[in-house]
Structure 1
Amino acid sequence: MAMAMTMGVCVSSIFKFSSYNYNNKPVTVAVHKNEKMGVPYNLKEGQSRIFHKLPSGLNMEVIVQKKNKESRNDVENEKHYSLVFVHGSYHAAWCWAEQWLPFFSESGYDCYALSFLGQGESDEPEDTVAGTLQTHARDVADFIHRNIRSPPVLLGHSFGGLIIQYYISNLGNNKLKENLYPELRGAVLVCSVPPSGNSGLVWRYLISKPIAAFKVTYSLAAKGFQSSLSLCRETFFSGTMEDHVVKRYQELMKESSRMPLFDLRKLNASLPVPSVPNLPLEVLVLGANNDFIVDAEGLKETAEFYGVSPVCVEGVAHDMMLDTSWDKGAEVILSWLNGLHK
């Protein structure tokens, strides 16, 4: 079952690592004019859309918003690391550009939001699905290696959080002939799929919440959220979100995924994510108390996996970065980021 096409969990670790600097210069990326989404996302002031060419020759969409040098907090404005955002299923780079990129750039961070292949304005691979945990994580790693000078903080939502977990599991992997995964300053998992995948969530819903299980499966696996405004709201947002806002996001989500992000059978066969002894970075696990997809047990599983306490934000739903109270989660992350400087 594909119930967890958009789930979430996040964590914070007690381990830190020293700063590291890449000597390679940022790679020049092309700007494309042909829009792939039938409902294009119009960028906000201060944002730009570039395309990073992957080793495969395919182009990955990146929405960029550099830090505001006249930000509200001049002391915190001189950040030495960037934020890289990765989305989950039925979303693309635009989901970060709506609220969180302006917020964090105003707070002094250079921000980069990626769209995986087959999603948003990125190119499509010659396959029936966009990729695997490995290929998506490698695409993120390639972008970071070629464009970000010092280790960034990686933020992922839903299945994007699972991709980050796979990325983390490969940090310092001595089995690899070369280090394919650049180091990170930290990671934030926002309403993320747990490291074991969605099977535990599915069974818990079937046993304890059969009606909710049917709704979530119909909404995500059968894409029912695309035709029902009320189901779209219930799946991703708070009940107070106005119809016209839900409709706008619904249309963008319809156009965001031209192919599935994963083959879920192959994905489940590759899980759980390998554990990482002596985790070399700090991780924040962030959940939403009104999340219709990821339950408290799923949040707890991810937190325990990394040996940290989860943070559950009150009054927000699964799409925390787009919800009516999007600032609540953003403020929690900002406070955590500021703690990385100490």
Structure 2
Amino acid sequence: MNTNNFSQRISGTTEQPELEILNFPASKLNKPYPLLFIHCFSGGAWMFAENYASFFNHQGYDVFALNLRGHGQSQGKETVNQASLQDYFQDVVRAIKFVKSLTETYPVVIGHSIGSILTRLYIQDYELPGAILMSFGDVKTAFSAFMIWSMKNFPVKSLKMMISGKSEKMYGHFEPHFRILFTKTDNRLKLKPFVQRFVEQPESDRVFQDVQQLPPIQRGTGKTPVAIIVGDRDPIAPKKSVEILADLYQSSPVFIANKAHDLFVCDGWEQGADEILKWLEKNHL
């Protein structure tokens, strides 16, 4: 785990909570743009601190990882269940501005799952040096396929989640979370502490519902180069949904073999990191 990091605070207001952003400065900075990671549903900045931060520091990148409101040491835990997707989006906007104020340049934003959706919403209206969308495809197609997967594999928990509107009915249990994040060949014992962190993280049922009702996200100006990286066994990013997303951004998707939704703490996490690095270097970022 990377220990060369420190927690910084993005100042809050009466309407916006104070946010925590982890900063992993490179000892030998030689890249033009910092990297900003945005985590998934029930995740946190800790996901990227495990392996990716150190990997990209060694390549000369300054690395930042945001904790959305109610996650990590960001404020808003007591009200996170009422947070909307737009609230999370405003957190991302503030984080990008914060990184820009520190580094004097906009970051390349790497969004995972819900973080990928938030990144797409940002480049719909604003430009970035680059955007990397991980572990999600076209929202409507992906969500429909995921609900079918959920009903097939966890029918009782899925039904309770749909009837109650509470994501914890499914995500508050170890086994569904493990099966979403990892494959059968991944080491359950080794990964148990990570899965438990996902299970214990309070989340917003409103965000879960907002994603289902989200209007189609537009490409925007198209000037931001976009990479798409997913595991080929990810139940949240089936191939059809990824191909639709890739067509929208005129990007060639990368499928990581034998990986599910997590690409950060699993054995073989280097595969995803290597693909990001190759794309960054190809685009001179």
Measured against the shorter chain, the TM-score band is 0.7 to 0.9
Indicate yes or no: 2:10 matched with 1:66. no
The answer as to whether partners of 2:42 and 2:199 remain within 8 angstroms in 1 is yes
The residue aligned with 1:82 is: 34
Do residues 271 (structure 1) and 215 (structure 2) align? yes
Q: C-alpha separation between the residues in 1 aligned to 2:241 and 2:159?
A: 20
How many residues align structurally? 276
Which residue of the partner structure matches residue 14 of structure 1?
A: none
Match of residue 155, structure 1, among 105, 110, 113: 110
How far off is 1:323 after superposition? Answer: 1.5
Q: Does 2:7 match 1:49? A: yes
TM-score normalized by the length of structure 2: 0.85
- 1:44-193 residue pairs with structure 2 within 5 A? 44-55=2-13, 56-69=15-28, 78-124=30-76, 127=79, 129=81, 131-148=83-100, 149-171=104-126, 183-193=127-137
Distance apart, 1:302 and its partner CA? 1.2
Report SS of the residue matched to 1:286. Answer: strand
One-letter amino acid of the counterpart of residue 141, structure 1? V
Which amino acid in the other structure matches residue 217 of structure 2?
A: V
1:225 CA displacement: 5.3
Question: Residue 10 of structure 2 contacts residue 21 of structure 2 at CA under 8 Å; is this kept in 1?
Answer: yes
TM-score normalised by L of structure 1 = 0.72
Name the stretch that deviates more: 110-119 or 288-297. Answer: 288-297
Work out whether 1:298 is the aligned partner of 2:256. Answer: no
> How far off is 1:195 after superposition?
4.1
Indicate the SS of the match to 2:191.
helix
1:336 to 268, 276, 279: 279
Which structure: greater helix fraction?
A: 2
- Contact (CA 8 Å) 2:27, 2:60: kept in 1 or not? yes
> Which of the numbers 152, 158, 161 marks the counterpart of 1:211?
152
Cα distance, 1:63–1:128 mapped onto 2, change above 3 Å? closer
Q: Paired residue for 2:178, among 226, 233, 253?
A: 233
- Shift of the alpha carbon at 1:275? 3.3
Q: Deviations over 1:248-288 (max 9, x none)?
A: 112211333x2316433344333211332x41110001111
Change in CA separation of 1:112 and 1:336 when aligned onto 2, cut-off 3 Å: same
Counterpart of 1:250 in 2: which secondary structure?
helix
Larger Rg: 1
Conserved 8 A contact 1:51-1:60: yes
Q: Which runs of 5+ in 1 are unaligned?
A: 1-42, 70-76, 172-182
Name the SS for the 2:193 alignment partner.
helix
Q: What CA distance in whole angstroms lies between the structure 2 residues aligned with 1:96 and 1:146?
A: 19
Compared with structure 1, are the counterparts of its residues 243 and 185 closer, same or farther at alpha carbon in structure 2 (3 Å cutoff)?
A: same
Change (3 A) 1:130 1:143: farther
Task: Give, in whole Å, the separation in 2 of the partners of 1:215 and 1:319.
Answer: 24
Q: What is the rounded CA distance, in whole Å, between the counterparts of 1:60 and 1:210 in structure 2?
A: 35
SS of corresponding position for 1:129? helix
Partner of 1:38: none
Q: Distance in 2 between matches of 1:218 and 1:87?
A: 26
Hey, what's the Cα distance between the residues in 2 that align with 1:210 and 1:57? 37
| Higher mean C-alpha displacement, 136-145 vs 160-169 | 136-145
CA contact (8 A) 1:197 1:271 kept: no
CA distance in 2: counterparts of 1:189 and 1:232, whole angstroms: 21
Letter in 2 for 1:51: R
Task: Name the CA shift for 1:216/1:198 in 2 (closer, same or farther; >3 Å).
Answer: farther
Indicate if the aligned counterparts of 1:52 and 1:61 stay in contact, CA closer than 8 A: yes
Shift of residue 57, structure 1, vs aligned partner: 5.0
Kindly state the Cα deviation for residue 150 of structure 1 after the two structures are TM-superposed: 0.7
Deviation digits for residues 261-319 of structure 1 (CA, Å, limit 9, x no counterpart): 6433344333211332x411100011111213321112112111212221111122210
CA distance in 2 between partners of 1:112 and 1:90 (Å): 19
Name the % identity.
Answer: 24
> Which consecutive residues of structure 2, in runs of 5 or more, have no partner in the other structure?
162-166
Superposed CA RMSD: 2.7
Evaluate the alpha carbon distance shift between residue 223 and residue 247 of structure 1 in structure 2; reply closer, same or farther with a 3 A threshold.
farther
